[in-house]
Structure 1
């Protein structure tokens, strides 16, 4: 089978292919492509001359391995590889299906001669012993669903035509979402049905098996509320008030906070905290939530109209996360910037996102002025959907289709 190469992730992992001291942990929302990424790594290893007997791939969600539930069973599955000479490459997909897998993984890591790759669909994978006992002995690679560029490239890989109009293709991507499997379906209704099945699968496999939820119907109300209000500034107090006044649902703060954490752990949503730019500290209280994939919203709603404000923010947020940026909502006093991004070099970038800055001077000023008032020399961006590119006071203007389509980052560049 040929696999679509997610090159942006492969280039991050390749340097660790032969490292038998570090466990490679690939995380991401269910069905985002983690299994295929590991299969691609396996394919590259075979292509480089690694013999088949030194590669073992165990998909614990598939027939033949679903009965592997205990640490002892997993250990027995791997043990025959000890007789194989040379560096062995061990791939374990959905490893969190095995209770106590941490001890087994650590055992074979300590044994030496094993380059280990594991995946999991929730943050529970990095809780417990894996994060405490193996500190400094694993490296995490977080996957996102397909971004706009990957969506276009995968369509080409599958022999599907892309719309020559980048903005129209962006709209199609927004409505269809970035789950790779969704590209197998032609009709939008079929894509939505598939995404609904993913939502249910996440609940059954990544939530229900690991946490106890007494009132599933109330949990689903919270889930739908957060999904329907993605990109909006909110707080626990606001959510509690809205749920009671608009839906007649009452709960305490502790329960709401727990439900939101469950949704984060299952990687359905990500919390984007507010960040005070003067103190360089995160602020408690208000935050925004962004979706792992925009199709979650459209799958739960019948409305196909695109609200470009939060939608483009979600697209940019997910793209920045895929590049490894830490992302916050920025504030200086009462002034707010859409995003502050911190790169691996500890430098910052400031980003405003809007459907358009065309139409009036007031519209343009609304996006530029918050950036113009920042008094440092870090790069500043205005990101729009499909505007003629402008130049103003050293601020970089990009259309989102060019930014993501060309694989650009948020570092400074020449005009």
Structure 2
């Protein structure tokens, strides 16, 4: 089991405190394992295992507890026989009706430490979430980073080269369960396609009561095909109109929002670096895991730059950066990243195979006069850094502990 220290280091300061710890992220990204890692650490601190109460609400055996009243009775009966702090772990809590009331009641009634997971970003944005306002801290969990992927892959196939590791990561992505399939290509792709369909069906369609399934699938298909490309809801609407399908931009935006709430896509706004303002049109979208895209659409060499962008973007999110696309004149910088008052610029490309490509990727920084780090990230094996702009192979970039 990979220790996932990146997340544990963020959660650890809140362990044992009365704030509710909320772990969110796309289905099957490893949230349940995070709960086990937290339990292991608490046990290592001397907490007795009989003070843990764990429930996974996707387990049919727990269906009778999917109401606030039933869950409250169950926990109250269990906690009555214990002395001292109790530790509550609830997986996929969104399956419990009015779960916020129940969780808030536990916080008030018992000496307890509460951890919950959910597969929807709207988990804490509804009307009932006012019960928990100011009483929780949220952590977004992502699929494996390249570092985590490499740790697991090398435990299965010792001695793998860096190139082999990255090729597998590029093609299959970072979903943790793939290790159980020993990263075999066809079983892994089948799993990823089934996972993708499950997210569309359960976390998007059913949760939002979408009736026009064909339209939802077409919109998702369009975005998956065009990750890393700037477009607007109006552009998608025109695309459907050319296919004799009338869809309003508002409907498209609603469907995209549902996909974002299920963590299937991440939206990246554009920023005018000269006017220092966010632009409201032509955003970019990236997929939660590049392996799902490869499994659903197949591998297309023409898309390699976009897939590399997707990988870098997710790594920026994992490390806590707020990311925008930077517009400077007629050019765009792929990622403008900010964290704790620091800034970072990242340009991603496939290969610097021609003088024109080199000029395009490095030249985009010409109008940026600050001294923050500027990177060009590609698959090239040779360092072509120049004029203070750092060029890195993507493997090395993903493995670097710090980019500042």
**TM-score when scaled to structure 2?**
0.94
Structure 1 residue 172 corresponds to structure 2 residue 168 = yes
Structure 1 stretch displaced more, 174-183 or 384-393: 384-393
Q: Is the partner of 1:66 in helix, strand or coil?
A: helix
More helix by share: 2
CA distance in 1, matches of 2:188, 2:128: 35
Separation (CA, whole Å) in 2 of partners of 1:62 and 1:187: 28
Taking the aligned partners of 2:112 and 2:184, their CA distance within structure 1 comes to 44
Q: Say whether 1:356 aligns with 2:351.
A: yes
What secondary structure does 1:394 align onto?
A: coil
Following TM superposition, by how much is the alpha carbon of 1:340 offset from its aligned partner in structure 2, in angstroms? 0.5
Q: Deviations over 1:283-318 (max 9, x none)?
A: 101111100011221222244546221111100000
Change in CA separation of 1:274 and 1:131 when aligned onto 2, cut-off 3 Å: farther
Give the Cα–Cα distance (whole angstroms) in 2 for the partners of residues 14 and 306 of structure 1: 43
Show the 5 A alignment for 1:4-403: 4-20=2-18, 22-79=19-76, 80-111=78-109, 113-129=111-127, 131-157=129-155, 159-161=156-158, 163-164=160-161, 166-185=162-181, 186-245=183-242, 247-303=243-299, 305=301, 307-343=303-339, 345-357=340-352, 359-403=353-397
What is the root-mean-square deviation in Å for CA atoms of aligned residues? 1.8
Change in CA separation of 1:85 and 1:281 when aligned onto 2, cut-off 3 Å: farther
Q: Secondary structure at the match of 1:145?
A: coil
8 Å CA contact 1:356, 1:387 repeated in 2 = no
Seen in structure 2, the aligned counterparts of structure 1 residues 310 and 304 have a Cα distance that, compared at 3 Å, is closer
C-alpha distance in 1 between matches for 2:276 and 2:403: 19
Q: Alpha-carbon deviations, 1:241-276, whole Å to 9, x = none?
A: 22232x433211111111111111111111111012
Matches of 2:11 and 2:246, distance apart in 1: 46
Contact 1:167-1:385 within 8 A present in 2 as well: no
1:267 is paired with a residue whose SS is: coil
> Structure 1 segments of 4 or more deviating over 6 A?
none
Task: Tell me how far 1:82 sits from its aligned partner.
Answer: 4.6
Residues 299 and 376 from structure 1, CA distance in 2 versus in 1: closer, same or farther, beyond 3 angstroms? Answer: same
Give the match for residue 404 of structure 1: 398
Give ranges in structure 2 of 5+ residues lacking alignment: none
Tell me the secondary structure at the aligned position of residue 133 of structure 1: helix
Q: Quick check: 2:3–2:37 contact (8 Å CA) kept in 1? A: yes
SS at match of 1:18: coil
Structure 1 residue 215: deviation in Å? 0.8
SS in 2 for 1:214: coil
Asked if the contact 1:24/1:118 (under 8 Å) is kept, the reply is yes
Distance 1:39 1:172, change over 3 A: same
- SS of 2:293 mapped into structure 1: helix
Q: Which runs of 5+ in 1 are unaligned?
A: none
The CA deviation at 1:61 is: 1.3
CA shift digits 1:366-409 (9 cap, x unpaired): 11111232011222111112331233222222222112224x23
Count of matched residue pairs: 402
Q: Is the 8 A contact 1:162 1:169 kept in 2?
A: no
Q: Can you list the C-alpha shifts for 1:48-100, whole angstroms capped at 9, x where unaligned? A: 21101221111111243133221101112221225422222211100000010
> How many Å separate the matches in 1 of 2:87 and 2:135?
16
TM-superposed deviation, 1:131: 4.4
Whether the aligned pair in 2 keeps the contact of 1:243 and 1:249 (CA below 8 Å) is yes
